[in-house]
Amino acid sequence: MKKLLFCLLLAAGLMSVPGNSFAKKMPPPPDTVLNPVQQQDIERGINDLVRYQEERRAKQKKEAMIRISIGAALLVVLVIGLRRRRKK
């Protein structure tokens, strides 16, 4: 990990020196212009991901409500059982 960090810092230092031939040999970053089909694919993927997250949240919320309901019902049964025991 330390070697990797050292190499990255060394490369960044070499690239920042003006007039360095290493920095001149680096190719420029590619353009990120997307055609409409790629853009639609990306949007569809994002929409699917958002819909999946919403479905998962709804499912988790439903499961949580069921667990809370079961816990409340068991608490009521416990209270009724303790009150009956006390009366005897």
Higher pLDDT, 52 or 3: 52
* Structure confidence at residue 71 as a pLDDT band (50, 70, 90): very high
* Cα 17 to the center of its chain, rounded Å: 38
For the chain, what are the domain ranges?
42-88
Q: Give 20's contacts (C-beta < 8 A, 6+ positions apart).
A: 14
Model pLDDT for residues 13-62, shown as the tens digit of each residue:
656 655 555 556 666 666 667 788 888 898 999 999 999 999 999 999 99
Is the pTM value of this prediction over 0.75? no
CA 58 – CA 52 distance, rounded (Å): 10
Distance of CA 5 to the CA centre of its chain: 26
